[in-house]
Structure 1
Amino acid sequence: MSENLKPWIFTANCPSTIGTVDVVTRYMAQMGHYVEEILSFDDKASQRFFIRIEFRPNPDGFSVEEFNLAFAPRAETFAMQWQLTEPEHRTRVAILVSKYDHCLNDLLYRYRTGQLNIEVPLIISNHPDLEELAAWHQIPYYHLPISRETKAQQEQQMVELLDAHDVELVVLARYMQVLSPWLCEKLEGKAINIHHSLLPGFKGARPYHQAWEKGVKMVGATAHYINNDLDEGPIIAQGIQEVGHAQYPEELIAKGQDIERITLFNAVKHHIEKRVFLSGNRTIVLSH
């Protein structure tokens, strides 16, 4: 196959039944599309089938409309829902942040160096502290301070900004505010949060100090989609590292922040590469 043709991504899910892989791969072969990678999973708990394919389109011509039109009757037989993602698509991501900058710095570095195939049209914060960092990356920074009196108004303004910038994914890069239920519902499956994995044992302020006082032997981070259950949304990625009695709270914090950075990066990368499928309150992540 021609190396100049970049792979497209095909994702689909449907009820579990015989022939799900065949209906997709046979269609690809008949249309002259070369399958480079195929990952699938049959979820026995939900009785649904999930598949992700990277393919190089027929060099003689490719049309999304023609692909969908010809595949639709085959997919209908399996009640299959599918999506095509073009190689050049750059997911438009809004980053929400408060004062901690480690996750924001990491995401912007990976954005700038091309490790994340995204566009970042805006950064929103409830504090002004990181405006200079955003300015250095030439990204608009919106300071929306939150209080009990202004929360509803500021969240509405946030939604207007997301809509105005055609945002596809919201990343809460240590945004230390609890989103209202209506906003969580609006962003379901479209917003990723990161937090330390010491929860639910060490809630509230100074969790690493609390953990140190209990002599924890492991720290970590969890990245998940948000929902109305605080810090309990469908998990996308997690990371852990062993620690010991020789590490003091400051060292635990540093290790925790390192894990938060890489875990959030992995979650965002899985999402934009269309590797994550929601299955109830669980996720199916089709990754190597």
Structure 2
Amino acid sequence: MNPENYYLTLTCPNRPGIIAAVSTYIFENGGDIDEAQQFDDKASKQFFMRVSFTCAADAQSLKAGFNAIAERFHLTWDLRAVKDLKRILIMASKLDHCLVDLLYRWRIGELPMVICGIVSNHPREVYPNIDFGDIPFYHLPVTAETKPAQEAKLLDIVAQEKVDMVILARYMQILSDNLSTQLSGRCINVHHSFLPSFKGAKPYHQAHARGIKLIGATAHFVTSDLDEGPIIEQDVTRVTHGDTPDDLVRKGRDLERTVLSRALRYYLHDRVLINGATSVVFSD
């Protein structure tokens, strides 16, 4: 077999010998480590590791042989061939700047993924200038009365399309506690604020009212606690007293695009591991 590229990620209670066991296993199976990163969280006493390596062995045999190490160290782990792309479902509302940006980065090969579909609470006609190509489009209009049924349809799509991650690309509907729980660890949102400041609606207007000199955007995992999920990526830009709320919104759009695309890129390359209320991000 020709050498294959693999990502191995793992989390476990910290103890001596983990790195040695993992590297030895890869070596004994003819693998060559390209990159290895690890983090020992002293507070939680948890160990996190990501290894990128090449190996001629197939994924099934590598996983089977690795089970002994996983049991020995009580690992939560995943091993994936890089060619097996993650399956992504994108959700958006009328604001389409994040959606357009993700599609562009996907088409030029910056975001290696399979887009299983686009879900919106608005009809396709709202996006006359976007070329969706062959990507399935799902219109799921949401009202107080239809929300439970539409969320059930969304979960059906996730199951049928074997979606790995749902991306809320400025999807302007609050997910129910039930849906948030169902998608735990499998849903990333971009919030137009530097969390934990200015949560909820119109954060740029809140920031303007307070005379803030820096505004930001945050990509985080979705939980049932609104805007409280583990943070993956953030960025800021400077504003002045002369900027209007509309200026903040304009500058914020650029932040939202870059922050969401970075967070998704980290996820697609298996660089994000959840650590309780926070996350470990092995940057590239």
TM-score normalized by the length of structure 1: 0.92
The separation in 2 between residues aligned to 1:153 and 1:236, in whole angstroms, is 30
Residue 43 of structure 1 corresponds to 41
* Secondary structure of the corresponding residue to residue 215 of structure 1: coil
Residues 48 and 202 from structure 1, CA distance in 2 versus in 1: closer, same or farther, beyond 3 angstroms?
Answer: closer
Residue 144 of structure 1 corresponds to 140
Residue 80 of structure 2 corresponds to 85
Q: Does 1:110 align with 2:100?
A: no
Q: What's the % identity of the aligned pairs?
A: 42
Q: Which amino acid aligns with 1:27?
A: Y
The separation in 2 between residues aligned to 1:39 and 1:205, in whole angstroms, is 38
From 201, 205, 210, the equivalent of 1:214 is: 210
What runs of 5+ residues in structure 1 fail to find an aligned partner?
A: none
Query: Which 4+ stretches in 1 moved above 6 angstroms?
Result: none
The separation in 2 between residues aligned to 1:204 and 1:80, in whole angstroms, is 37
Q: Could you tell me how far 1:198 is from its partner in structure 2?
A: 5.3
Q: Which amino acid aligns with 1:160?
A: D
The separation in 1 between residues aligned to 2:102 and 2:74, in whole angstroms, is 37
> Map of 1:1-288 to 2, 5 A cutoff?
5-58=3-56, 62-128=57-123, 129-133=125-129, 135-197=131-193, 202=198, 205-288=201-284
Q: Could you tell me how far 1:207 is from its partner in structure 2?
A: 3.3
Q: Which amino acid aligns with 1:252?
A: L
Larger deviation, residues 252-261 vs 240-249: 240-249
The separation in 2 between residues aligned to 1:190 and 1:162, in whole angstroms, is 10
Contact (CA 8 Å) 1:12, 1:82: kept in 2 or not?
A: yes
Contact (CA 8 Å) 2:90, 2:168: kept in 1 or not?
A: yes
* Secondary structure of the corresponding residue to residue 128 of structure 2: helix
Contact (CA 8 Å) 2:8, 2:51: kept in 1 or not?
A: yes
Q: Deviations over 1:149-205 (max 9, x none)?
A: 111111111111222222111000011111111110110000000112256654555
TM-score normalized by the length of structure 2: 0.93
Contact (CA 8 Å) 2:193, 2:203: kept in 1 or not?
A: no
* Secondary structure of the corresponding residue to residue 115 of structure 1: coil
Contact (CA 8 Å) 1:198, 1:207: kept in 2 or not?
A: no
* Secondary structure of the corresponding residue to residue 132 of structure 1: coil
Q: Could you tell me how far 1:82 is from its partner in structure 2?
A: 2.1
Residues 287 and 202 from structure 1, CA distance in 2 versus in 1: closer, same or farther, beyond 3 angstroms?
Answer: closer
Q: Which amino acid aligns with 2:228?
A: E
Contact (CA 8 Å) 1:134, 1:140: kept in 2 or not?
A: no
The separation in 2 between residues aligned to 1:269 and 1:100, in whole angstroms, is 21
Q: Could you tell me how far 1:6 is from its partner in structure 2?
A: 4.8
Residues 136 and 183 from structure 1, CA distance in 2 versus in 1: closer, same or farther, beyond 3 angstroms?
Answer: closer
Contact (CA 8 Å) 2:193, 2:204: kept in 1 or not?
A: no
Contact (CA 8 Å) 1:236, 1:283: kept in 2 or not?
A: yes
Q: Which amino acid aligns with 1:34?
A: D
Contact (CA 8 Å) 2:195, 2:218: kept in 1 or not?
A: no
Residues 46 and 205 from structure 1, CA distance in 2 versus in 1: closer, same or farther, beyond 3 angstroms?
Answer: closer
Two-structure CA RMSD over aligned residues (Å): 1.9
Q: Deviations over 1:92-138 (max 9, x none)?
A: 11111111011001000011111001111211111125443555433
Q: Which amino acid aligns with 2:118?
A: I
Aligned residues: 283
The separation in 2 between residues aligned to 1:10 and 1:197, in whole angstroms, is 33
